[in-house]
Structure 1
Amino acid sequence: MMPGSSKKKRDTEKSPVSELSDDLLVEIMRWRDLVSHPDHRKKLPQSTLAGFFFETYDITSRQVSRSRRYQSVSGNWCPRINASLSFLPKCERLDIMDSCNGLLLCRCWKSTDGKMIDYVVCNPATEKWVVVPATNWSSKLWAIRLGFDPAVSSHFHVFEFVDAFVLDAADRRRHIKVVGVYSSKAGVWTHESTGNHLVDICIFSPSVFFGGVMYLSSYNDLVIALDMEGKCKVIRTPAPRDGCGAYDISQSQGRLYLANHGDSEVSIWALDDSSTGNWTLKNKVSHLQLFEKEYLSMHDYNVIIHPEDNGIIVLCTQLHIGGQSLTKVLSYNVDSREQHFMTDLGWYCRIPYLSYVPLFSESLADAH
């Protein structure tokens, strides 16, 4: 090696940061602190809806098999998401229970008998994860939700909804009697009785978390509001639901929206004030506008208000000969009144369809 070649190599491998002046470095650090502050991050635009996590099932074999999938609906701007979540700790079976502001809540079965489980909260975009200890009820529950707001804190909450049947097998009622809440900041579970409130949520009912409150739709024309201590409040919906099941609720631009499925149209309502329970009718969209003639034969559908613009996303399932089902994703622009086909989720899909909005920051406290 010729004299001076080592020094020349080191000079060419210098970090670009080393060329910056002290004044410029100080300015960069100031801007970083300014942007990362929770009060300012609330005002910044959030990542938009990227896709959906869901399950498919195969009934062609003797034994029904399940498969976890992710489908993008927003092009190539979001990094490729691996639905297998292979970066998580190994377990016998993994169920994705909920999605909230870029994080997923999973239930990890460690043994085939279901006696050893944990929850895992993870960020698919950064592949960071945190283990949450299960409770004595965790293996018996399906109504489990995740609460997380990266603009407020890097900590999250897990909500368990324990129904009367789990508490007493002789009691065939399914309404929720106890709410368990896990705080990642405190590292403990707390439990609160729902008292006299008749909380009758569907295990796959949509949920929304913002402003430190978890909102869920209920069968009995109510929206359930739970704070981070598990205290329950009920908000009556603006009109009785047309048909069976629960309402579709969504969050868009800092407000709670409710979609009521009618016989021939969908009405969209926005919650003005949770303390008064006042709603405002925002739009009514006929099925013909929403689906056009090609999709009017759908068997079932779910409505999601787009988190950032004046649009509606519809996941509609069509039944075909032989009991086969195909789920399609459509979009409808309220301003232009135009409907567009977005993508197929494929055959034999099953609810819930969990909306995924990617989170690219490292906002997950105590993550691996």
Structure 2
Amino acid sequence: MGSMEITTGSMETALMSDLTAKLPGDVLVDIISRVPYKSTRCCKCVSTRWRDLIAHPDHREKLPRSTLAGFFYRTFDMDRCQYDSHGYRSLSGNWCPIDASLSFLPNYKKIDLLDCCKGLLLCRCSKPYPETPDYVVGNPATEKWVTVPAKEWSSDSYARLGFDPAVSSHFHVFELVPAAALNANLKFDYNIKEVGIYSSKAGGWTHQIEWNDPFKICNFSAGTFLSGVLYLCSDNNLVAAVVEGNCRFIPAPTLHDACGRHDVYVSRGQLYVAYYGAAEASIWVLEDSSSEDYWTLKHNVSYLQLFGSRSKGRYGVISVHPEDDVIFITVESKSTLSGDRLQLKLFSYEIDSKELKFICDLGRISRRPYLSYVPLFSESLADEH
């Protein structure tokens, strides 16, 4: 009896300490729906009841949504064996309908997607030979765009975008010039020799960084922009190229799987490096970007834990969610409906719950880079069309 009295007293104490315990579920959901998305994610940790209410399918339309709307990617023409166009895969249903064909952009011979940063897309738009291409920065949400003048070697260069609407409506384009573009005798040398920096505020190319010892950028390294700095992955280091034209190299964390690949992302305002190899995938966080060796292992998971012993398809980490502890993974699998041809499937992996969720089929023609798209509705581009 005494035990029952203690239990009852504990329940009364819990009810007094949690004033929301007596609220009906629909009222509590209405309250939670009025806070930002990031706070909603924190609300899931309050109690089991809160977590279940937030996760319930009936409440998804009422609660704040993630700002991540989907992914842009390149497409590959299997018959002609060349990259021909681009595609878009929504993660948000009809929440953020956009013109995935990007028909609002000027009519060019070919449009190559290069980068996406905080709602803006960077494209290289080809003209009939021998004209040099243009860089175009566009906003799919508002269907506005601006042209960035290219340089003589832009056709053979890589380019990345730097933009932070919380700081300015202006952007930077970083042109990564390989040695092959600068010297015809080095046509197979794709090590980066120079970086040119375009400022939309200045209206021109303002800085140029040159290296005596060129470095190699990992194939289709997306790069990421944080606090005015563009971060890229080279073979053994992170490369940081700042807007003012200075550059420093940051050693990457040690990887046990020497054959693995890595790429760099931003999530929750911190720099993340995602490694993936045949045996496992791991996520590292740079706790202090001013330090060069303050990497913390956030999570690692083996291939067997992810896919089980029956799966033998190759996989790759393509992105880290900008707000959640979620990574996105593509996996190759054979489809009997297409004559045992390899198909790509897109999954999400939640770090906290260690849960792998199937999102969609990407088919046969989707290719890197997969560019995370977060819509930008409120800001305008300087000198936009």
Assess same fold via TM > 0.5.
yes
TM-score, normalised relative to structure 2:
0.77
**1:204 maps to which of 205, 215, 220:** 220
**2:69 maps to which of 39, 44, 50:** 50
Residues 1:107 and 2:124 are matched in the alignment: yes
Q: For 1:162 and 1:204, how far apart are their aligned partners in 2?
A: 14
Aligned to 2:98: 81
Aligned to 1:343: 360
Tell me by how many angstroms 1:76 deviates. 2.4
Tell me by how many angstroms 1:263 deviates. 2.9
Q: Which amino acid aligns with 1:52?
A: F
- Aligned pairs for 1:315-330 within 5 A: 315-318=330-333, 324-330=341-347
Residues 1:253 and 2:272 are matched in the alignment: no
Judging changes above 3 Å, is the alpha-carbon distance between structure 1 residues 339 and 204 closer, same or farther for their aligned structure 2 residues?
A: same
* Contiguous gaps of at least 5 residues in structure 1: 1-44
Residues 1:360 and 2:377 are matched in the alignment: yes
* Contact 1:194–1:232 (CA under 8 A) maintained in structure 2: no
Q: Which amino acid aligns with 2:95?
A: W
Judging changes above 3 Å, is the alpha-carbon distance between structure 1 residues 186 and 47 closer, same or farther for their aligned structure 2 residues?
A: farther
Q: Which amino acid aligns with 2:217?
A: I
Q: For 2:344 and 2:226, how far apart are their aligned partners in 1?
A: 29
**1:268 maps to which of 258, 273, 283:** 283
Tell me by how many angstroms 1:319 deviates. 5.3
Aligned to 2:61: none
Q: For 1:204 and 1:239, how far apart are their aligned partners in 2?
A: 21
**1:135 maps to which of 118, 128, 151:** 151
Tell me by how many angstroms 1:46 deviates. 10
Residues 156-176 of structure 1: per-residue CA shift (max 9 Å, x gap): 000101111111122343221
| DSSP-derived class of the 2:306 partner | helix
* Contiguous gaps of at least 5 residues in structure 2: 1-63
Residues 1:298 and 2:313 are matched in the alignment: yes
Residues 1:68 and 2:83 are matched in the alignment: no
**1:154 maps to which of 145, 148, 169:** 169
Tell me by how many angstroms 1:226 deviates. 0.6
Aligned to 1:164: 179
Q: For 2:308 and 2:118, how far apart are their aligned partners in 1?
A: 32
Residues 214-257 of structure 1: per-residue CA shift (max 9 Å, x gap): 001112x1000011133221100111473447412111000010
Aligned to 1:314: 329
Over aligned residue pairs, what C-alpha RMSD do you find?
Answer: 2.3
| DSSP-derived class of the 1:166 partner | helix
Q: For 1:274 and 1:197, how far apart are their aligned partners in 2?
A: 24
Residues 1:194 and 2:210 are matched in the alignment: yes
Q: In the comparison of the two structures, how many residue pairs are matched?
A: 318
Instruction: Indicate the larger mover: 143-152 or 192-201.
Output: 192-201
* Contact 1:301–1:315 (CA under 8 A) maintained in structure 2: yes
Q: Which amino acid aligns with 2:221?
A: S
* Contact 1:47–1:359 (CA under 8 A) maintained in structure 2: no
* Contact 2:220–2:369 (CA under 8 A) maintained in structure 1: yes
Q: For 2:260 and 2:352, how far apart are their aligned partners in 1?
A: 29
| DSSP-derived class of the 1:170 partner | helix
- Aligned pairs for 1:7-46 within 5 A: none
Q: Which amino acid aligns with 2:171?
A: F
Judging changes above 3 Å, is the alpha-carbon distance between structure 1 residues 320 and 344 closer, same or farther for their aligned structure 2 residues?
A: closer
| DSSP-derived class of the 2:113 partner | strand
* Contact 1:214–1:225 (CA under 8 A) maintained in structure 2: yes
Judging changes above 3 Å, is the alpha-carbon distance between structure 1 residues 98 and 252 closer, same or farther for their aligned structure 2 residues?
A: same
* Contact 1:324–1:348 (CA under 8 A) maintained in structure 2: no
Tell me by how many angstroms 1:276 deviates. 2.0
* Contact 1:266–1:285 (CA under 8 A) maintained in structure 2: yes
Q: Which amino acid aligns with 1:189?
A: W
Aligned to 2:107: 90
| DSSP-derived class of the 1:309 partner | coil
TM-score, normalised relative to structure 1:
0.80
